[in-house]
Amino acid sequence: MKSRFRVGTWGLEIFTALIFLAVLLPFYIVVVSSSKSALEITTNPLGLPADWNNLWINISSIWNNDNIHYQSSFIATVIVTAVSLMLINVLAAQAAWVLVRTKTKLSSFIFLLFVASMVIPFQIVMLPLVSWFKTLYDFTGVKLLREYAGVFLAYVGFGSAFSLFMFHGFIKGIPLELEEAAQIDGCSQFSTFYRVVFPILKPIHATVAILNGIWIWNDYLLPLLLLGKGNRLMTVPLAVANFAGSYVKQWDLIMTAILMAMVPVVVAFLLAQKYIVKGMVAGSIK
């Protein structure tokens, strides 16, 4: 019996190791290919590079190339990600707090609508979204296509449902007595939320920010629809795709561009992974 258990355990460990290697292989290929020349990649795609200093040469070639516009794309991605996360976190936290503390059938129905919207694929609404933005511009003159404002609005709309769901579960675990004590001391609802509730939400804020940040930073389809390729506000995924189309044979620079786009997200995830687990568990159970 023990021998069967050991064989089964070894089998699971070997299977887990194989899955780990399969997941790690693309990252390995990107890293080593970023430090190779184009000739090395074609002749020895899986081998280690002859000179790791090629990585810094490739990074410099991409960063200083005026035809790629990687610098402006990186800045645009930082702006889009930072502003979108700030709006999502603040608005979703406020909405979740109101829905939790308002014990009515309407508040429950609104919460269910937010949860139900999470199952709607983006591909179903992407064309109506662009059409609506165009119609809004025709009637009001407010330009949302090829502008930051349209991207911010879209990300807030698509990211609020999941974020509100997470905040909603976390706020349920906050004792109502804390807010009542603050109101007795003379705090308004606005002060009660931002001075009492908002600081308690730090773990779930980190969770929501990281999960949405990974999505927004790596998103390709939504910026492609709203910003388009070749625009001055082009994000990093668009720049990498545009670069791959323009220099299809320079795999060393293409892999380096992918690595440069990947590193900020990987570092942010590694630094905040404990908050992700903590916030996910707290937001799901409470």
Indicate the CATH number for domain 67-285.
1.10.3720.10
pLDDT value for 143: 86
- What does DSSP assign to residue 147? S
Among 244, 195, 235, smallest CA distance to 217 is for: 235
Greatest Cα pair distance in the chain: 75
b (16+ CB within 10 A) / e for 243-265: bbeebeebbbbbbbbbbbbbebb
Domain ranges for the chain: 1-64, 67-285
More confident residue, 184 or 154: 154
What percentage of the chain exceeds 70 in pLDDT?
89
Tally the C-alpha atoms within 13 A of residue 38's C-alpha that lie toward its C-beta.
7
Q: Which two tokens stand for residue 194?
A: 């931002």
Asked which of 8-22, 161-175, 264-278 is least confident by mean pLDDT, the reply is 264-278
Q: Whole-prediction pTM value?
A: 0.84
- Is 153 exposed, middle or buried (CB count within 10 Å of its CB: 0-12, 13-18, 19+)? middle
Asked which of 28-32, 149-153, 192-196, 282-286 is least confident by mean pLDDT, the reply is 282-286
121 vs 236: CA distance, rounded Å: 23
Place of tokens 């937010």: 114
Q: Which two tokens stand for residue 83?
A: 């502003």
pLDDT value for 217: 92
Residues 6+ apart with CB under 8 A from 65: none
Q: % helix / strand / coil in the chain, to the nearest 5?
A: 80, 0, 20
Grade residue 138 by pLDDT with cuts at 50, 70 and 90.
confident
pLDDT value for 240: 81
